[in-house]
């Protein structure tokens, strides 16, 4: 069975600027298919500058038996459109969609989208192989764990398989995509390797911990560093953004990665998302992390009071956040702080308090994300029960559209406050001078980028 995996044309969040990111999930799936001697091709439309008008031609020329794609919620529609194109070209082609969106909404997906034959739920590497073997042998589909499919007018969901042992997975199939074309406006030539999957925490706004299953699973640090070396030496990648939901869970794991980078003489920069309390716990590693190339850390700050942190199930305190930001500054590591606006109890004064907290912390690079009810999260389930999701477009589940009102603000007012936070922080004269004239050249580039982004937002709001 010949398989074509497609990363459809899509528009990334404007704040990210000029960015083309690798389809990391498809690369991992493709590597396992190759290992199992299943012919596979990847079409990354964004990297290949392939427009919608060209996608059908590519599918027709490739003559696949199966077309697959993966999608987070804001990119569900483009992924489904690929399936429609494939079916229009060859009604017999098997279409498969995976990713977080369909993992949590398999019934809705299959009942509303006849162009999609199968949904792969959760981790797709081994599941897709098992599905392909089942189809090749015309076996009983209900024996394939981790899928959903139509049976008459019903949707059948099979049980999820156990979480994968990440050390059994081959390195992603980078040779199947134009790796040299992946870039990020202020990260340069970058890649998105994976050092672990899952998260031991249960934040209400997050669906990723449910997607990956219980607990946190690290990859062997030696395999992580091997992948970094391959990407750096063979493919010329200079910057690495770890895709982990929580990179800094284990100190020994981080230490081994840092020491491996230094032992192999890799002159690279790298970035990750982690927790403030864990950063404090492993504060002794910060000098080593900085030496090995850690230029920026993304902290999930989210709120400015202990009570709201508790309501989000962050299991974190304001004091821990303050300490973590200070430690990053002391070690010359840029702090990207994520804040959430538009939570259920937010009003004008509470959002102003978040902005003032960000300024008081002196976060190098704050991002103000709009509270978004991602399928699979506690927030989604609550909003669904309250009937707040009707009429919403999945393309707007991108943390930059206000989808839910708060107890005190309409959706429009909530979005206005979010944009006000960006403008007030990045146009603050003292912050602006400090950012644009920082001794850290990378921080200067970030501020130049964010100033352009904020300017565009203000311009659009005036017209």
- Model confidence pLDDT, tens digit, residues 175-194: 999 999 998 877 789 999 99
Whole-prediction pTM: 0.94
3-class DSSP state of 352: helix
pLDDT at 14: 67
Mean pLDDT on 149-164: 95
Q: Which residue has the higher pLDDT, 184 or 281?
A: 281
DSSP 157-199: EPPPPPPP-GGGSPPP-GGGS-GGG-EETTTEEEE---SEEE-
- Cα dihedral value 213, 216, 217, 219, nearest 10: 140
Instruction: Give the C-alpha separation, 378 to 121, whole Å.
Output: 18
Distances, alpha carbon 49 to alpha carbons 15, 20, 55, 182, 328, in Å: 20, 10, 11, 12, 38
- Cα 8 to Cα 393: distance, rounded to the nearest angstrom: 18
**What is the reported pLDDT for 456?**
79
**Residue extents of the structural domains in the chain:** 3-157, 186-461
pLDDT of residue 443: 86
Q: Do domains 3-157 and 186-461 have the same CATH topology?
A: no
Distance of alpha carbon 187 from alpha carbon 239, whole angstroms: 6
Smallest CA-to-CA distance from 333 within 369, 279, 395 is with 279
* Pick from 245, 208, 205: nearest CA to 381: 205
Q: What is the pLDDT of residue 185?
A: 76
Question: Which of 55, 63, 60, 58 is CA-nearest to residue 80?
Answer: 55
Mean pLDDT of 233-252: 96
Q: Specify the higher pLDDT residue, 440 or 212.
A: 212
Q: Determine the pLDDT at residue 457.
A: 76
Q: Which of 10-24, 49-63, 259-273 has the lowest mean pLDDT?
A: 10-24
Q: What share of the chain is helix, strand, coil (3-state, %, to 5)?
A: 45, 15, 35
448 pLDDT tier (thresholds 50, 70, 90):
confident
CA dihedral 430, 433, 437, 443 (to 10 degrees): 70
The residue written with tokens 């004008």 in the block is 348
Q: What is the pLDDT of residues 194-209, one digit of tens each?
A: 999 999 999 999 999 9
- Give the pLDDT band (50/70/90) at residue 17: low
Q: Angle at Cα 428 formed by Cα 416 and Cα 316, nearest 5°?
A: 70
- The tokens describing 312, both together, are 């989000």
CA distance 190 to 318: 33
Note the CATH number of domain 186-461.
3.80.30.20
Distances (CA, A) of 457 to 27, 68, 252, 453: 34, 36, 43, 6
Angle at 375 between CA 370 and CA 380, to 5 degrees: 65
Least confident of 120-129, 252-261, 295-304, 433-442: 433-442
Alpha carbon distances (Å) from 255 to 78, 243, 287: 40, 18, 11
Query: Percent of the chain having pLDDT more than 70?
Result: 98
pLDDT score at 70: 94
Q: Mean pLDDT lowest for which of 4-18, 269-283, 412-426?
A: 4-18
Q: What is the pLDDT of residue 296?
A: 94
Contact 148, 155 (CB under 8 A): yes
Average pLDDT of the chain is 94
pLDDT digits (tens, 9 = 90+) for 359-406: 999 999 999 999 999 999 999 999 999 999 988 899 999 999 999 999
CATH number of 3-157: 3.40.50.280
Binning pLDDT at 50, 70 and 90, where does residue 454 land? confident
Looking at residue 234, the DSSP 8-state letter turns out to be I
- The average pLDDT across 136-142 equals 93
Residues in CB range of 352: below 8 A, 6 or more apart: none
Q: Residue range 203-228: average pLDDT?
A: 95
Say if CB 312 and CB 341 are below 8 A apart. Answer: no
**More confident position, 312 or 392:** 312
pLDDT above 80: residue 134: yes
What is the pLDDT at residue 357?
98
**316-352 confidence digits (pLDDT tens):** 999 999 999 999 999 999 999 999 999 999 999 999 9
């Amino acid at each position: 069975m010949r398989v074509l995996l497609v990363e459809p044309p899509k528009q990334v969040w404007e704040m990210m600027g000029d960015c083309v990111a690798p389809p990391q999930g498809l690369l991992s799936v493709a590597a396992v298919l190759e290992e199992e001697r299943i012919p596979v091709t990847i079409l990354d439309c964004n990297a290949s500058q392939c427009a919608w008008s060209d996608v059908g031609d590519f599918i027709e020329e490739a003559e696949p038996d199966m077309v697959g794609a993966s999608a987070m919620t804001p990119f569900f529609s483009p992924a489904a459109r690929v399936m429609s194109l494939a079916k229009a070209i060859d009604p017999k082609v098997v279409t498969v969609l995976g990713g977080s969106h369909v993992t949590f909404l398999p019934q809705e997906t299959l009942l509303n989208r006849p162009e999609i034959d199968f949904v792969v739920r959760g981790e797709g590497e081994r599941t897709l192989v098992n599905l392909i073997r089942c189809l090749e042998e015309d076996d009983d589909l209900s024996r394939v764990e981790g899928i959903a499919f139509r049976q008459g007018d019903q949707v059948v969901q099979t049980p999820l398989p156990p979480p994968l042992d990440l050390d059994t997975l081959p390195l992603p199939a980078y040779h199947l995509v134009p790796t040299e074309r992946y870039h990020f406006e202020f990260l340069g030539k970058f890649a998105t390797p994976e050092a672990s999957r899952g998260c031991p925490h249960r934040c209400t706004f997050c669906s990723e911990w449910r997607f990956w299953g219980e607990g946190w699973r690290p990859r062997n640090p030696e395999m992580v560093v091997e992948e970094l070396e391959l990407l750096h030496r063979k493919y010329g990648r200079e910057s690495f953004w770890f895709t982990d939901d929580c990179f800094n869970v284990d100190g020994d794991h981080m230490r081994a990665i840092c020491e491996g980078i230094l032992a192999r003489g890799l002159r690279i920069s790298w970035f990750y998302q982690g927790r403030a309390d864990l950063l404090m716990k492993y504060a002794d590693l910060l000098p080593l992390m900085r030496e090995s190339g850690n230029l920026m850390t993304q902290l999930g700050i989210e709120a400015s009071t202990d009570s709201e942190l508790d309501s989000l199930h962050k299991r974190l305190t304001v004091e821990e956040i303050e300490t973590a930001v200070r430690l990053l500054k002391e070690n010359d590591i840029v702090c990207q702080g994520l804040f959430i606006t538009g939570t259920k109890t937010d009003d004008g004064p509470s959002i102003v308090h978040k902005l003032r907290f960000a300024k008081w912390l002196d976060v190098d690079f704050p991002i103000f994300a709009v509270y978004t009810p991602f399928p699979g999260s506690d927030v989604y389930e609550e909003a669904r029960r309250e009937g707040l999701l009707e009429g919403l477009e999945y393309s707007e589940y991108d943390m930059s559209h206000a989808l839910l009102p708060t107890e005190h603000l309409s959706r429009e007012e909530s979005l206005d406050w979010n944009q006000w936070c960006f403008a007030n922080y990045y146009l603050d004269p003292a912050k602006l001078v400090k950012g644009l004239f920082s001794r850290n050249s990378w921080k200067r580039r970030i501020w130049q980028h964010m100033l352009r982004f904020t300017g565009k937002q203000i311009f659009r709001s005036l017209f």
